[in-house]
Structure formats: structure tokens, C-alpha cells
Amino acid sequence: MVDRQVLFPAQFKGAGDDRIQKANKINGGQMVEIEWKDGIRSKFHSIWLRHNCHCSCCKLDVSGQPIVPLTEIPLEELYIQDTDISEENVLKVKWQEGDKTHQGYLPSSYLKTYCYSDGEIERKSNAARMTFTTDSKIPEIEYKEVMETQTGLYQWLSLLGDRGICMVRNVPTVEDHILKVSRRVALPQHTVYGYTFDVKDRPNASNAAFRSIALNLHMDQATYESPPGIQMLHCLRFDDQVVGGESVFADIHHIVDVFRQEHPGEFKTLCRVPVTYETIGYEDAAGRELPVHFQIRRPIISLNTYGHVIAIIYHEIMTGPLQVDEHDVEPFYKAYQMLMQAVRAWPNKFRVRLKPGDMITFQNRRLMHGRSAYVSNGGLRHIQGSYINIDEFRSMLIYLQNTVGDGSPIRRIGLLDMY
């Protein structure tokens, strides 16, 4: 029966000791209990096993997608008749489905990876939590390493995933070369500014980013339902006579982690009450390709079922009129002001004056960025930017973690994944 290659073995590289000691049906065939070689026990429901059966009748070889609709499985008449363990360490299962039977199998590595027994999902959620540091040194990697080797690409994305920020050095100072770097991961994410945007002083620009004034810490495109995941800023010119213009970064997830401990009531308010983010530009497109009218209402902080922070969307300027019940107005403004004060007072900031050939890359949903004011003095500061979609970045990071790295789970990167 078990003559097919196990689907995607690389994705189970970090499953640990996945050898099955024994497997027994329990609860009248409604569940299977597996005892692993390491002594840990796992329980799986009959319907979960059936829905994830790996036999050729149930899953596509190429993608692993199920091809048996759940509606065709009789939930009330489904139970396990028998189980066995093959020489290849695969769990074989025979189900009774009403007046029919089905024989299938599930690889042990698959079962160990996706085990959901008591406490296991919370353990996985804890393992996915971001780690924080007070180290103000920005990790670096060479452009050639990123572009020429899978190991270099993996190191770059791993640093982005774990630390949230990484400097790529010695990138050719050619306009739109940023797109070539982006395509090592995915196609660039298109926004109303196009695939790239150019940050340089335009005295009459309506967007503050395109002037020489200071920019407070923020994340880009907060008005999008799915803001960009990775931002890349490539320094094409930064003339010596330009005074100021240093880039600054701060980890909003670290800030909120401390804020939660010091102000638990206000933290809960920011998890519950939605702020309005808004961008309106009908006639003056401010560097955008088309007129826009973005509006979205969402809490600044999102939690999973275990109370872990999984996503934060923060921007002090792109706010529209607050639209909440009247009893939430004052508590929200108090909490929001306190968070702004915490951001301004945050001591652990990254600061850097970019040089031509530098490309600073960072998680847009984690590392807020800003800039000090600058005076051009006849010189030019020209930074070209682009974005990578959060899901596509995560997909490539997981792929490299399983094919180049050790297969361990990646940490959260600010999307609404409930882990």
C-alpha cells in the first residue's frame, strides 16, 4: 500500500524523533493514540486522520491537496477499524464509513509535525513568539552572497525573520536594481506608488516623505488591509554636503511588549477599540499613480487565542476621524497617546546614515522607520524603495528553512496567522 514518496519530506525536517512505538484505536474507534519512541503520546481524531489521509485516492501527488470533499465523509458513521505501523514508519489506518471502508496512511513525520494534542498548539504558539534584543547594531550581509547563493539568500531572510532588519551592502547604484534583489524572493508588491518609489526632496510635495522634513517612526501603507511585509530602501545617492537625513528604526513589537507589562489596561483598549486609518488624494496624487481614498478601521494590536500579540499596525499621521461607540472615545485617546509617548521615549533605536550601495531591508510590520530632517546644501539624497508581500516572504523563508536550514519553525512576522 505504501509505495508512494512521502509528500514534501523537507517540510517535516524539524519534526524531531518521529518514530512510532505503537498506535492503538481508542474511544470506540473515534481516536488513535500514538506512543512515540521518545515516550510522548499524541491523540488524533478519526475525522482528522481521514481528512488528512495521504493515499493516492485522497491527496494529489504534486501539491498534497485533498481531493475528497469533506461532504463525502459520513461524520456520524465514521470510525477506525484497525491501525498498523509499516516498516517505513507510516501509520496505516482502516476506516469504516457507513457501509463502506477506506484504507489509507499518514507518514509519522506528518503526524509529529501537525500533532494537536493537549498543550501542543500552545507550545507551537509559544515557539513562534518573537525574540527581542537591545543590541543597536544592524546585522549585515553582502549583496553578492544574497544574489549568488541559496545559503546567502537564506541568511538574509533568516536575519529579516529573526531580527526584523538587515543591511545589504555593496548593491549596484543603478535605478530599479532594487527589483532584481526583490525577485530573489518574489515579485515586488505593487502599491498606489507603483513597484518602486523614489524618496528625494521635492519642496512642494504633499507627502512628507518626499520633503526634507523629519519623519516620525511609522510603518508604511497602514491603510491597506494587508500592508507590505518587507520594505527595501536602496541608497542611490547621499552626497557629502547633505546634512542630516539619518534613518532611524524601532521594533514596535518590543515596545508593545513592554507597554503591555507597564499599562495592561491601556493595552487591552488598543486590542479592542479600532482606530481609523485613512489616506485621501483625489487631485494631488502625491507621487501616486492614481487618485486614492483608503479607509480601514482596525485595532492597533491583534492577539491570538492564547493572548499573544500577532500583529500591530501603527501610524501616527494616517489617521482619520475616530468612529467608535462614545464610551470608547476617551479611553482610546488616552491609550493611544500613552503608546505614542512610549514610542518616542523608546531607548533601543537603530540609527544609520545610509551610503550609496546600502540597501536597508526590514519587516514593515515590525520595524517602524523614520528619518531626521536634512538640508541638501546643493547635494542630493536619493533613496529608492520597494516592497515584498508578507505571505510571499514567509513562503520563501519556510522553503529555505526546510531546504537549507534545520527545518525548525519560523517566528512570527506580523501577519494574522493565529499561531
pLDDT at residue 289 in the model: 73
**Cα 225 to Cα 70: distance, rounded to the nearest angstrom:** 30
Instruction: Identify the DSSP state of 44.
Output: E
Per-residue pLDDT of the chain (419 residues; tens, 9 = 90+): 333 334 444 455 555 678 999 999 999 999 999 999 999 999 999 999 999 999 999 988 767 788 899 999 999 999 999 999 998 999 999 999 999 999 999 999 999 999 999 889 999 999 999 999 999 899 999 999 999 999 999 999 999 999 999 999 999 999 999 999 999 999 999 998 899 999 988 877 767 788 888 999 999 999 999 999 999 999 999 999 999 999 999 999 999 999 999 999 999 999 999 999 999 888 765 667 788 899 999 999 999 999 999 999 999 999 999 999 999 999 999 999 999 999 999 999 999 999 999 999 999 999 999 999 999 999 999 999 999 999 999 999 999 999 999 988 899 999 988 88
Give the side-chain half-sphere CA count within 13 A for 41: 9
Q: Tell me how far apart the alpha carbons of residues 292 and 109 are, in angstroms, rounded to a whole number.
A: 48
Residue 387 and residue 183: Cα distance in Å, rounded? 11
Q: What are phi and psi of 411, to 5 degrees?
A: -90, 170
pLDDT at 209: 81
Q: Find, among 384, 389, 383, 390, the residue nearest to 190 by Cα.
A: 389
Listed residue (223, 250, 28, 239) closest to 136, CA to CA: 250
| φ/ψ of residue 49, rounded to 5 | -65, -45
The CATH number for 127-403, chosen from 2.60.120.10, 3.10.20.30, 3.60.130.10, 3.40.50.300, is: 3.60.130.10
Query: pLDDT for 208-249, tens place per residue?
Result: 788 888 999 999 999 999 999 999 999 999 999 999 999 999
Distance separating alpha carbons of residues 190 and 306, to the nearest angstrom: 34
With CA atoms as reference, report the closest residue to 201 among 386, 369, 362, 378.
378
Query: What fold characterizes domain 9-118?
Result: NE0471 N-terminal domain-like (3.30.2020)
Q: Where are the domains of the chain?
A: 9-118, 127-403
| Distance set, CA 281 to CA 194, 284, 294, 295, 413 (Å) | 15, 6, 9, 12, 30
pTM for the structure as a whole = 0.92
Q: How far apart are CA 169 and CA 146, in angstroms?
A: 10
